[in-house]
Amino acid sequence: MPVIHVNMLKGKTTEQKKIMVESITEAVVKAINVEPEKVTIFINEFEKEEIGKGGRLYTEIK
């Protein structure tokens, strides 16, 4: 059973997340020949001040 974790900034709509989950599931099914029902996806959303890149918080970068 494939388990996928997606880490991303908050702000995407439910519809956007639905499309993402469908697309990821399709890719996994095609790549490793499993049934869609076997694919589990966790979406972890973060605020900009909870992510760092290059030694700086995202709030400082963008």
| CATH assignment at residue 23 | 3.30.429.10
Query: Would you name the residues annotated as active-site residues?
Result: 2
CA–CA distance, 5 with 27 (Å, rounded to integer)? 14
The pLDDT assigned to 56 comes to 95
List pLDDT tens digits, range 2-56: 999 999 999 999 999 999 999 999 999 999 999 999 999 999 999 999 999 999 9
Model confidence at 62, in pLDDT bands (50, 70, 90)? Answer: low
Number of domains within the chain: 1
Domain range enclosing 49: 3-61
